[in-house]
Amino acid sequence: MTYSPGPNRLTPEARRVLVALHDLSEQRGVPPTLREIAQVTGHLSWSTVSHHVTTLQRLGLVHSYPGQPRGTYLTDAGRADVAVGRRALCDSIWRVLIPKRVFQGSVHANC
């Protein structure tokens, strides 16, 4: 049975693929191939990444152009999802690492 957290939420693996797609696109200026995403995320097969990309397409987070090796692009919703996910991670790190009395009243700009 496949783990599915719901229609609007991503599995941890799909989120890793989304973040890798975002980061590699930002670093190189062009979208990565499925094999490059597989290498970064630690997947042994690019077909697993392809499955996750299909899920991301269904959710409207990426758009793919069939037949193009570098044809997977983040949508605005995908970029927003990455930003929200990173912000939530950053907030949780701050809550764990910095005692509440020190953190109260201060605003952190970056993790």
CB neighbours of residue 33 within 10 Å:
17
**pTM, two decimal places:** 0.73
Which segments of the chain does DSSP mark as H helices, in order? 12-28, 34-41, 46-58, 76-97, 100-103
- With tokens 């020190």, the residue in question is 102
Residue 8 contacts residue 59 (beta carbons within 8 Å):
yes
Whether residue 50 has pLDDT greater than 70: yes
Q: Which residues pair with 64 in a beta bridge?
A: 72
90 — pLDDT class (breaks 50, 70, 90)? low
- Mean pLDDT on 38-67: 92
Q: Name the 3-class secondary structure at 62.
A: strand
pLDDT per residue as tens digits for the range 13-32: 898 999 999 999 999 999 99
